[in-house]
């Protein structure tokens, strides 16, 4: 299979973990005889510095022509005082909107051996395996006007959703639920927000088309509590843009680190941008200790969703589990015992596993 992949490293540890994804994809390509070609483009703060904008037209054009896009992370203190239109985060929101990536899938699955990154008890998190389906191109992030008024002394953000925007993400979530445990939790703030009332109405209407799916509505505040006290009650969660952003970072404690959560940002025709849930982590950038697994697992999602390469995706995921089973982990992860490694060593261990594991299964199949 021949595929053209655009890499958007961005800023901070985005620059480091994107190398890891590329190395893993090289290993996959070599083992399965695919041709993946890579093209890097600027986004975020790096693009502000080089081109005077967080999202150059050349980046948008390249992403539109690509078979898939991998993004590292954007942002950092260097750009914190930039005017709003030059903030690195505008580049990220811009590319999501330009590509029409309305559905952000954030799977949260604990890997064996990893301890939670908080004082949560191991038995609370055991068996938690959920999927947050986050609406990505609407809501507060994109509402207008969002500007200072009264000489800068008052401000407004608008939470705006159309029926169509809610319907398509709710459909996506029902479809995901049909492939999993047929259990859907729709999270909103319908006791206060009009947008949530419309959201709830639409979920109720859509139920008829998916009669096998058991649906519950939950308010976002109590969901935040239940997510870390009884996570195994959840399977698929669907929610609006900002609630999904906050709940997914919270849910990352179940997996041991924010550095473990991958995501796929999709539209309906298979076009996708794949990005870790974490940010540019300025506190550890440049030290070679960033956990590359969220980025590598995002590349696995790309193989599965954009290229239909299930075996390859599964091999990458198995490689991650096996290397963790052997006790190797980056400093952000906690284990009872094990060996602490940096970004490049962790990446090499996974690439080696992919190459040797696939070679041994090939030798075996040659003899059978
Ligand atoms: N998708 C994105 O590009 C994205 C996502 C979130 C935040 N951001 C941006 O990143 C910048 C920093 O934001 P923040 O500090 O609130 O969030 P962050 O996700 O960058 O970091 C939060 C904490 O998690 C740790 N962490 C995150 N990823 C890690 C990894 N792979 N390995 C080890 N530790 C990891 C960091 O060291 C930090 O202590 C901001 O400019 C923010 O806007 C970008
Ligand atoms: C950087 C920011 C705009 C972004 C978001 O809120 O969507 C990030 O937090 C994420 O989760 O991808
Ligand atoms: Mg976030």
Residue 238 exposed, middle or buried by CB count within 10 Å (0-12, 13-18, 19+): buried
CB 294 within 8 A of CB 276: yes
CATH 3.40.718.10 fits 1-103+273-368, yes or no: yes
Pocket mutation for ligand 1, best pick of 78, 279, 320 (most atoms within 8 Å of C-beta): 279
Looking at per-residue pLDDT, the higher value among 334 and 56 belongs to 56
pLDDT at 148: 77
CB 131 within 8 A of CB 176: yes
Least Cα distance to 48 among 79, 77, 12, 69 occurs for 79
pLDDT at 365: 46
Centre of ligand 1 to C-alpha 34, Å, is 32
Which residue lies with its CA nearest to atom 36 of ligand 1?
Answer: 281
pLDDT over 50 at 321, yes or no: yes
Delimit the domains of the chain by residue range.
1-103+273-368, 116-255
pLDDT over 70 at 368, yes or no: no
Which residue lies with its CA nearest to atom 43 of ligand 1?
Answer: 75
Ligand 2 is surrounded, with C-beta below 6 A, by: 75, 89, 92-93, 245, 277, 279
Ligand positioned closest to the Cα atom of 275: 1
Centre of ligand 1 to C-alpha 296, Å, is 16
Ligand positioned closest to the Cα atom of 71: 1
Where would I find the H helices in 33-135? 44-51, 57-65, 88-99, 122-125
Centre of ligand 3 to C-alpha 8, Å, is 17
Tokens of 206: 């859509």
Q: Which helix (H) or strand (E) holds 27?
A: helix 13-32
Ligand positioned closest to the Cα atom of 250: 3
What is the C-alpha separation between 229 and 120, in angstroms, rounded?
Answer: 8
CB 145 within 8 A of CB 156: yes
Tokens of 352: 């080696």
What is the per-residue pLDDT across 297-318, written as a single tens digit (0 to 9) for each? 999 999 999 999 999 999 999 9
What is the C-alpha separation between 345 and 315, in angstroms, rounded?
Answer: 19
364 is in an annotated binding site: no
Which residue lies with its CA nearest to atom 25 of ligand 1?
Answer: 281
Least Cα distance to 260 among 324, 181, 308 occurs for 324
What is the C-alpha separation between 319 and 352, in angstroms, rounded?
Answer: 9
286 is in an annotated binding site: yes
pLDDT at 152: 79
pLDDT over 90 at 123, yes or no: no
pLDDT at 108: 96
Which stretch of 7-16, 58-67, 120-129, 358-367 has the lowest confidence by average pLDDT? Answer: 358-367
Using pLDDT thresholds of 50, 70 and 90, give the confidence band for residue 271. Answer: confident
Could you identify the atom of ligand 1 that is nearest to the CA of residue 290?
A: 32
282 is in an annotated binding site: yes
Q: Average pLDDT of the chain?
A: 94
CATH classification (class only), 116-255: alpha beta
> DSSP characters for 250-286?
HHGGGGT-GGG---EEE-TTS-EEE--SS---TTTTT
134 is in an annotated binding site: yes
Using pLDDT thresholds of 50, 70 and 90, give the confidence band for residue 361. Answer: low
pLDDT over 50 at 190, yes or no: yes
pLDDT at 324: 95
Give the SS3 label for residue 236. Answer: strand
Least Cα distance to 46 among 76, 84, 5 occurs for 76
Rg of the chain taking only CA atoms, in angstroms: 21
pLDDT at 360: 58
pLDDT over 50 at 265, yes or no: yes
Q: Work out the percent of the chain whose per-residue pLDDT is above 70.
A: 96
On the question of a common fold for 1-103+273-368 and 116-255, the answer reads yes
Using pLDDT thresholds of 50, 70 and 90, give the confidence band for residue 358. Answer: low
Could you identify the atom of ligand 2 that is nearest to the CA of residue 92?
A: 3
Give the SS3 label for residue 105. Answer: strand
pLDDT at 322: 95
β-partners of residue 147 are 156
pLDDT over 70 at 354, yes or no: yes
Stretch 158-182: mean pLDDT: 97
Task: Show Cβ contacts of residue 134 under 8 Å, excluding neighbours closer than 6 positions.
Answer: 103, 104, 105, 106, 239, 240, 241, 243, 244, 245, 248
Is the beta carbon of 280 within 6 A of some atom in ligand 1? yes
Centre of ligand 1 to C-alpha 281, Å, is 4
Stretch 194-202: mean pLDDT: 98
Q: Which residues are catalytic?
A: 141, 189, 221, 245, 249
Centre of ligand 3 to C-alpha 124, Å, is 24
What is the per-residue pLDDT across 44-98, written as a single tens digit (0 to 9) for each? 999 999 999 999 999 999 999 999 999 999 999 999 999 989 999 999 999 999 9
What is the C-alpha separation between 63 and 336, in angstroms, rounded?
Answer: 42
pLDDT over 50 at 367, yes or no: no
Could you identify the atom of ligand 2 that is nearest to the CA of residue 263?
A: 12
């Amino acid at each position: 299979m021949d595929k053209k992949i655009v890499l958007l490293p961005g800023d901070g540890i985005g620059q480091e973990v994107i190398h890891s994804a590329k190395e893993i994809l090289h290993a996959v390509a070599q083992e399965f005889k695919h041709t993946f070609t890579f093209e890097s483009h600027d986004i975020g703060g790096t693009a502000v510095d080089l081109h005077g904008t967080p999202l150059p037209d050349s980046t948008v054009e390249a992403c539109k022509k690509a078979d898939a896009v991998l993004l590292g992370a954007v942002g950092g203190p260097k750009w914190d005082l930039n005017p709003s239109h030059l903030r690195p985060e505008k580049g990220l929101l811009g590319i999501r909107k330009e590509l029409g990536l309305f559905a952000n899938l954030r799977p949260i699955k604990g890997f064996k051996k990893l301890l939670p990154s908080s004082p949560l008890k191991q038995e609370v998190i055991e068996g938690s395996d959920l999927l947050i389906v986050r609406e990505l191109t609407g809501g507060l992030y994109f509402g207008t006007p969002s500007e200072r008024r009264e000489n800068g002394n008052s401000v407004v953000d608008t939470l705006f959703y159309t029926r169509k925007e809610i319907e398509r993400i709710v459909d996506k979530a029902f479809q995901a639920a049909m492939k999993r445990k047929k259990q859907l939790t729709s999270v909103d703030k319908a006791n206060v927000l009009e947008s949530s009332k419309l959201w709830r109405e639409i979920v109720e209407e859509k139920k008829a088309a998916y009669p096998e799916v058991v649906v519950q509505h939950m308010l976002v505040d109590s969901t935040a509590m239940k997510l870390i006290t009884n996570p195994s009650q959840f399977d698929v969660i669907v929610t609006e843009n900002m609630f999904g952003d906050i709940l997914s970072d919270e849910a990352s404690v179940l997996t041991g680190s924010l550095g473990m959560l991958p995501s796929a940002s999709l539209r309906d025709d298979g076009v996708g941008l794949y990005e870790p849930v974490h940010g540019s982590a300025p506190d550890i950038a440049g030290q070679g200790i960033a956990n590359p697994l969220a980025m590598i697992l995002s590349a696995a999602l790309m193989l599965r969703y954009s290229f239909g390469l299930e075996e390859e995706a599964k091999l990458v995921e198995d490689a991650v589990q096996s290397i963790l089973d052997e006790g190797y982990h980056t400093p952000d992860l906690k284990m009872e015992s094990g060996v602490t490694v940096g970004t490049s060593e962790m990446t090499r261990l996974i690439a080696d596993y992919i190459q040797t594991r696939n070679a041994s299964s090939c030798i075996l199949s040659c003899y059978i």
